Structure 1
Amino acid sequence: MTVRAVPTGIGHYLPERVVPNSEFEKTLDTTDEWIRTRSGIERRHFAAEDETTSQMAVRAAEQALQMARLAPDDIDAVIVATSTPDLTFPSVGTMVQEGLGMTRGFAYDVQAVCAGFIFALANANGMILSGQAERVLVIGAETFSRIMDWEDRATCVLFGDGAGALVLEARTGTGKSDDRGILSVDLNSDGKYRDMLYVDGGVSTSGTAGKLRMQGNPLFRQAVAKLTETADAALAKAHLTGADVDWIVPHQANIRIIQGTAKKMGLPMEKVIVTVQDHGNTSAASIPLALSVGVTEGKIRSGDLLVAEAIGGGLAWGAVVMRW
């Protein structure tokens, strides 16, 4: 028998404040049509002034635990993927522990920007397969509105805030591709591309949080190619092909990237979970948010084969093949 990391609960949280594209027309040389045409985004959510990444993570985690029918102390580990923590330290993960009322286990953060949730899933999968943990709560949570340059119309209209959470539990399988759970993982990074997407601040440089900077066109070209390659690699590791896929759950950065990746994989958009129009780019939160919406809307069902893939600053990119 083979141990698998099987999803048993999913949840998400979005801040109350909804920001339509039209709101940016008041302060920037832009229009709703310009934003929609280039990104597919129609609206996004921004955290309230007193709302933090850890608070949103806790709200999403509570939903996931409820679906999994677990109490906080049933969880062995909490892994939070974020690039916008409440504080430099301690980790958001430990704040989630406290917020949930957990009295056991361990918690930490993973930072791979928009690919963070994929890297966190890989961490959780490894711990479950090694026996280090039996139940892991994996969270993606971001308040990217805190690091926007509100005068840069090319970037500030693209991002939003939110959180998504997934419970993974150790279950036994046959070792074949029809098992439920994570079937394969593919991770990559290449630091020479770092100037394509970065924040111009940090503890050991400016001593400030900094603002997000992005080279849109070069990043677009890298994204489509690398997302297709990593998705195909993850499928090959699981001895599967695109023909076996029920749903692509991509990082929700830009509708043109999503469409381009699906086309290169030979899959129709009808097999892609798309939430970018409602959430914008929520970085590490985008995949769990899309997963949760897909499950809530009844699209993703038990037994469906999913490919989740993302690329973020670093550059870091990767994919996970999972049977729901």
Structure 2
Amino acid sequence: MTAHAKISQVAHYVPDQVIHNDDLARIMDTSDEWISSRTGIRKRHIARDQQTSDLATKVAASLLEKSQIPAEAIDFIIVATITPDSNMPSTATKVQAAVGAHQAFAYDLSAACSGFVFALSTAEKMIASGRYQKGIVIGAEILSKTVDWSDRTTAVLFGDGAGGVLLEASSEPHFLAESLHSDGGRGQSLVSGIQGLHSPFSDKQEDDSYLKMDGRAIFEFAIRDVTKSIGKLIEDCQLTADDIDIFLMHQANFRILEKMAQKLGVSIDKFPANMMEYGNTSAASIPILLSECVANGNIKLDGSQTTLMSGFGGGLTWGTLVIKL
């Protein structure tokens, strides 16, 4: 029998500390009006004393509790992140140990704001191989440790959080189509965590850990390249944009979502948004949005809704999945 994968459970977690735009206006030259009118963002959650693995572990534990599946039954854990606790051990292995998923293999995946889509695509192939039955995919970030808090062009945009899904084997196909892309030639448009050479045998290079972004280039990339690839994928599926019930997009900027909806000829009502609450949480943004949509009843997880997920960002990377949820 052909193996398929389905998303059977969702969860998310964000730190308790909330930073409003007015709070940022007290420490930098900005204002609520300046931030919200350009991005839609009004506040963000910022970790006070937690690491990325702590946020991801909360999500994994919630997925297990909701599904009533024992941790020992999980075959793999993938954490999409660009803000791991450390290069090694991976964030995913810390989650594996914390929840007691002793039979699971675990690793991190780095594809920035496309990370959750790339990780979900990978996990779906694992389940579809027939070798694995259950896996956890999480997007988790603490971007507050990567931004320069004196730089209003970046610091106001990002927040911390985690979201994830439980993936299980199914007799019916749920993942209908995908389109994954990278363009390293434009990678300098969005960079973070540059590490210099420290060997005594190498010319010294300076570290540059702060996140830096060419906002205009990223905005145009999202509107032009990402929207074009979404339209092509829908067409390749022999669907129309009207056939998509809900668009779960990376939550970077509400103006980007408005432009995308306009270019695709779709009502913005099909594009749920929560960046006003969380800011841009990179790999965590889509799974947090998915989890909230399930919680408020917009998504049923009964396989009846044709859903499009699309992430885009550093790399440059962009990826889209069409899934029955």
Q: What TM-score range do you get, normalising by the shorter chain? A: over 0.9
Secondary structure of the 2:164 match is: strand
What's 1:22 paired with? 22
Contact kept, 8 Å, 2:144 with 2:160, in 1: the verdict is yes
Deviation, structure 1 residue 71: 1.7
Contact kept, 8 Å, 1:38 with 1:256, in 2: the verdict is yes
Q: Which moved more, 1:123-132 or 1:79-88?
A: 123-132
Letter in 2 for 1:19: I
Equivalent positions of 1:164-243 (< 5 A) are 164-173=163-172, 179=173, 181-199=174-192, 201-202=194-195, 204=197, 208=207, 210-243=209-242
What's 2:201 paired with? none
Distance 1:236 1:67, change over 3 A: farther
Letter in 1 for 2:319: G
What CA deviation, in whole Å up to 9, does each residue of 1:10-60 have, x standing for no partner?
Answer: 000000000100001111111000000000001100011x20100100101
* TM-score normalised to structure 2 length: 0.94
What's 2:52 paired with? 53
1:254 aligned onto 2:277? no
What's 2:108 paired with? 109
> Which runs of 5 or more structure 2 residues have no equivalent in the other structure?
199-204
Contact kept, 8 Å, 1:140 with 1:163, in 2: the verdict is yes
Deviation, structure 1 residue 3: 2.7
Contact kept, 8 Å, 1:231 with 1:320, in 2: the verdict is no
1:97 aligned onto 2:96? yes
What CA deviation, in whole Å up to 9, does each residue of 1:43-80 have, x standing for no partner?
Answer: 100011x2010010010112222333312111101010
Identity of aligned pairs, percent? Answer: 40
What CA deviation, in whole Å up to 9, does each residue of 1:254-297 have, x standing for no partner?
Answer: 00111111211111111112111001000000000000011101
Letter in 2 for 1:75: I
Letter in 2 for 1:42: R
Equivalent positions of 1:272-311 (< 5 A) are 272-301=271-300, 302=302, 303-311=304-312
Letter in 2 for 1:171: S
Contact kept, 8 Å, 2:146 with 2:193, in 1: the verdict is no
What CA deviation, in whole Å up to 9, does each residue of 1:105-161 have, x standing for no partner?
Answer: 201111000100010011101111122321110000000000111111011000000
In the aligned structure 2, how far is the partner of 1:85 from the partner of 1:40?
27
What CA deviation, in whole Å up to 9, does each residue of 1:175-230 have, x standing for no partner?
Answer: xxxx4x22111100001111110015226575757000000011100111222123
Letter in 1 for 2:19: V
Secondary structure of the 2:41 match is: coil
Deviation, structure 1 residue 244: 1.0
- Give the CA RMSD over aligned residues: 1.5
Distance 1:204 1:134, change over 3 A: farther
1:3 aligned onto 2:3? yes
Secondary structure of the 1:290 match is: helix
* TM-score normalised to structure 1 length: 0.94
Contact kept, 8 Å, 1:227 with 1:311, in 2: the verdict is yes
Query: What is the aligned residue count?
Result: 317
Secondary structure of the 2:135 match is: strand
In the aligned structure 1, how far is the partner of 2:36 from the partner of 2:101?
42
Deviation, structure 1 residue 241: 2.3
Runs of 4+ in 1 over 3 A off after TM superposition: 203-209, 236-239
What's 1:313 paired with? 314
Contact kept, 8 Å, 2:218 with 2:313, in 1: the verdict is no
Deviation, structure 1 residue 237: 4.3
Secondary structure of the 1:154 match is: helix
Q: Which moved more, 1:219-228 or 1:58-67?
A: 58-67
